Structure 1
Amino acid sequence: MKTALKQTGAPEESDQPVAQTKDKVWFGGYLLFLIALGGLYYLVSLRFLGLSEGAVVWVLRLSRGAFILTLILGVAKASDVYLIGRIEDPVPRYNLRRIQKLIVALLMAFTAVTMWSNWYTTVVSLGLISLILGFALQTPITSFIGWIYIMVRAPYRVGDRIKIGSATGDVIDVSYLDTTLWEFGGYLSTDHPSGRIIRFPNSSVLNSAIYNYTWPVFPYVWNEIIFNVGYESDLDFVAKTMQEVAEEEVGEAMMERIRVYRELLAQTPVDALEVREHPSVLFRISSNTWLEAIVRYLVHPKEAGRVKTRLIKKLLAKLNAAPDRALFPKGNAR
């Protein structure tokens, strides 16, 4: 599976990210603030500022908590620039930043609470609060579990084209509680963006089938074009013409995709003998008085509409050039 994933596309060359000027400013600010907090803590602990005992305890807690919070933010910033920023694939980079923000928020919240109370008491209190909220917020918690499932099992990623329930679209955001799709198709008759946004709770992935049209190992789907032709047509000519036109449009790219597809199928019990490297033409009896001539080919789902439009134009031009061999419905017989 990993070998096939590497074959689906050549890696893009990119420079390893380095700290930009604004990042260096942030790092410098964090460092200066940490030094200032450390100095304040040291002076107060030695009673150099002449504060009362109650004020000393309060300032020590505050400076210690602020020091830890600043340290958390600094480490998060450094990991974002020097670790996560080095990942070339934008999808895992996006997911890791989501996870990092969640961890940072939890650590900061825990630190802020423990500034004013004993950490053991805080843990017990948080446990009781979590138990109460668990009953009151079952749906959001289930959606959060769905987000963890999406991160671990990756049924889809940002940029994938999916269908879940009646919703179909390109994933543009996966938050902690819901997923946002840029709808395609919808009320339109073609596979084009409708302009509408679909948002559904992440809990849906736990009890719904997910159709992923662009999973990274093999981001292609089968597509077909159907023409009605008469029984008196030269079927060999129609089949040859349709196959030649389709091969001219998608032939070389399709051969490479089929090679990867066969390697994937070889790892399963599925019989791969019927998987052809070239576009295929089939004939089927229609429910009316015509035959259906079908050309089937492999295409990237986000290119399906444009490829189909080009193929229809070329097919019609070739077939209409021989009206005595390719008989189409005419007039009121359409």
Structure 2
Amino acid sequence: MDALRELLSDPTIIKLMKLLLWIGITVAVVTFFRRSARKRIENTVFRYKTQKLIEILGYIMIILLVVMFVTVDNVRDYTIIIGLFTAGLTFTLQELILSIAGSFYIFAVRVYKPGDRIEINGITGDVIDIDSIYTTLMEIGGWVSSDNYSGRIVKISNAYVFKGPIHNYSLDFPFVWDELNILITYESDLEEAKTLILHEANEMLLAYTRASTAKWEELVERYYIENAALEPSLAVKLTDNWMQLNLRYITDYKRRRMTQQDLFERIESVFKAKGQAVYFASTTLQLLKIPEVDVRMHTPQT
């Protein structure tokens, strides 16, 4: 008994017992939170990430306890160690902290939501999921042309909402301006071509023009922005080979490709119906006449 009392009165043994006690408490707390996360969180991915985060924090706390009990002897030193550790942990996990903060910012400020089409960090796609760390996109573009899905699922850290611009195609004003260039020859009737193009564009895009007008009026009231012309318009440009008619119009942000295709087919149809009035242009080559060469053959005399 005397040996046991002497052993228990040893400061080193006391510190060791305290260390083991705090490690036991830490392990118990980590186990409790891991089990709670497993029971309460339904999303498999988020549950897995949460459990891993709790484990990592538990290991860090155990390491911190060991360092403190081995090297520190007074409360003041405890405070210094904790401060330094907190600063180091914050620096190491700054991306994770920014990602979690970004998720709250996205939902609070309504930067974007599932279903929106956005461009962030140079990647364009439709938002299909937002969790506490990542925004998941169905990529548009990449190795395919126009506004088509590439088939790749892209995960982008939510921290990027603080690092650069975010282009939202559907927030507040779900329409975009697009352009279609129609090339006609100089022999074509320019005024007739302009009339035909604007007539087809106005007729086909009437629903988009009306819907976008109502949305634009709401936008003007909400933001400091000037009014804009939403009806289809034409601009003519003269080149060395043809006259370029630039048709500018507004359309739904998800139907840009189809709208352009439908417009071109309708315009081509009315041009053909006009016969000799309007001709589509293509690159022309001018062949210069080769000078005549007089070649005479003389038979040598014997």
1:193 to 149, 173, 185: 149
Residues 114-156 of structure 1 deviation map (CA, whole Å, 9 limit, x = unaligned)? xxxxxxxxxx9x9998655323212211222222221222221
Q: How many residues align?
A: 226
1:296 to 239, 245, 248: 248
CA distance in 2, matches of 1:208, 1:146: 12
Q: What residue number does 1:316 align with?
A: 268
The letter of the residue matching 2:173 is F
Does the aligned pair in 2 maintain the 1:262–1:275 contact within 8 Å? no
1:209 to 159, 165, 168: 165
Asked if residue 150 in structure 1 is aligned to residue 106 in structure 2, the reply is yes
Residues 102-117 of structure 1 aligned to structure 2 (within 5 Å): none
For residue 316 of structure 1, report the CA deviation from its aligned partner: 0.9
Does the aligned pair in 1 maintain the 2:96–2:133 contact within 8 Å? yes
Secondary structure of the residue that 2:255 maps to in structure 1?
helix
Residues 174-212 of structure 1 deviation map (CA, whole Å, 9 limit, x = unaligned)? 121221111112222221111112222111111111111
The letter of the residue matching 1:242 is I
Secondary structure of the residue that 2:145 maps to in structure 1?
coil
CA distance in 1, matches of 2:252, 2:232: 14
The letter of the residue matching 1:319 is F
The letter of the residue matching 2:182 is F
Does the aligned pair in 2 maintain the 1:258–1:275 contact within 8 Å? no
Query: 1:132–1:267: structure 2 CA closer, same or farther, 3 Å change rule?
Result: closer
2:184 to 223, 229, 245: 229
The letter of the residue matching 2:193 is V
The TM-score normalised by the length of structure 1 is 0.58
Structure 1 stretches of at least 4 aligned residues deviating more than 4 Å after TM superposition:
126-132, 266-269, 330-333
1:164 to 93, 111, 120: 120
Query: 1:329–1:195: structure 2 CA closer, same or farther, 3 Å change rule?
Result: same
CA distance in 1, matches of 2:229, 2:116: 25
CA distance in 2, matches of 1:322, 1:267: 46
CA distance in 2, matches of 1:228, 1:133: 62
Query: 1:200–1:269: structure 2 CA closer, same or farther, 3 Å change rule?
Result: closer
Does the aligned pair in 2 maintain the 1:187–1:194 contact within 8 Å? yes
Query: 1:135–1:269: structure 2 CA closer, same or farther, 3 Å change rule?
Result: closer
Does the aligned pair in 1 maintain the 2:241–2:283 contact within 8 Å? no
Query: 1:145–1:267: structure 2 CA closer, same or farther, 3 Å change rule?
Result: closer
2:278 to 326, 329, 332: 326
Q: What residue number does 1:17 align with?
A: none
CA distance in 1, matches of 2:242, 2:284: 14
Does the aligned pair in 2 maintain the 1:168–1:185 contact within 8 Å? yes
Does the aligned pair in 2 maintain the 1:251–1:279 contact within 8 Å? no
Query: 1:128–1:144: structure 2 CA closer, same or farther, 3 Å change rule?
Result: farther
The TM-score normalised by the length of structure 2 is 0.63
CA distance in 2, matches of 1:252, 1:159: 22
Instruction: Return 5+ residue gaps in structure 2 as ranges.
Output: 1-27, 59-78, 286-302
Aligned-residue sequence identity (percent) comes to 29
Instruction: Return 5+ residue gaps in structure 1 as ranges.
Output: 1-60, 78-96, 114-123
Secondary structure of the residue that 1:329 maps to in structure 2?
coil
For residue 281 of structure 1, report the CA deviation from its aligned partner: 2.1
